[in-house]
Amino acid sequence: MTRILLLGASGQLGQQLCRTLSRVGTVIVINRATLDLCQPHQIPTVVLPIQPDLLINAAAYNAVDRAETEVSQADAVNAIAPAVLAEVAKTLTIPLIHFSTNYVFDGESTTPYDENDVPNPINAYGRSKLSGEIHIRQTWERHLILRTAWLYGIGHSSNFLNTICGWQPSNRNYESLPISSALLPLPLTLPMPSNP
């Protein structure tokens, strides 16, 4: 069976990937306690002995606002760690699947973005994620980079739907919910797990 090494399994996307991928292979999870991606130099020591067939990186430094003041942490997890993961995938000659973000763009386009649009991140988070993408592309050709925007799913307290639902009882002053119309993503729908 395909041995799939998944990073970021405790996250919103990672939890769903764990459930879904277990139908197609043996999912091996490495959590932060075993491998802190703020220490990217530790990646080869931890990952190489596992000898997976596929490497999936769902881990990220996702605190968009905090990234402005925690630039080195954001860069370590979002830029340097993906670069090292690409090196490791190359050494093992296995594919790397990595997730990125709409924040690589500046949001100024009046038409939907596609893969060929030129990125222009306007914040530290977006710059760190774009840097990760570039490192992967330059390092190992057998990669897939998926740029997502607004993940929805169940079972994760901080997802978009739960956040909105959580606002309602405690914000009785709102007659309508103030959601920015500047963000109009095409959402990535995570499938419902068969055993929620």
Ligand X SMILES: NC(=O)c1ccc[n+]([C@@H]2O[C@H](COP(=O)([O-])OP(=O)(O)OC[C@H]3O[C@@H](n4cnc5c(N)ncnc54)[C@H](OP(=O)(O)O)[C@@H]3O)[C@@H](O)[C@H]2O)c1
**Which residues here bind ligand X, judged by CB under 6 A?**
8, 10-14, 32, 36-38, 58-62, 77, 99, 101-102, 129, 148-151
> Of 61, 103, 125, 152, which is the active-site residue?
125
> Shortest Cβ distance from residue 97 to ligand X (Å)?
11
> Shortest Cβ distance from residue 110 to ligand X (Å)?
21
- Kindly tell me which of 3 and 66 has the beta carbon lying closer to ligand X: 66
Residue 125 a catalytic site member: yes
The answer to whether the CB of 82 falls within 8 A of the CB of 146 is no
Question: Nearest Cα to 182, choosing from 107, 117, 88, 122?
Answer: 107
> Shortest Cβ distance from residue 139 to ligand X (Å)?
17
- Kindly tell me which of 128 and 173 has the beta carbon lying closer to ligand X: 128
- Kindly tell me which of 61 and 105 has the beta carbon lying closer to ligand X: 61
DSSP 9-57: TTSHHHHHHHHHHTTTSEEEEE-TTT--TTSGGGHHHHHGGG--SEEEE
CA distance linking residue 81 with residue 135, whole number of Å: 10
Question: Nearest Cα to 85, choosing from 122, 46, 112?
Answer: 46
Catalytically active residues are 125
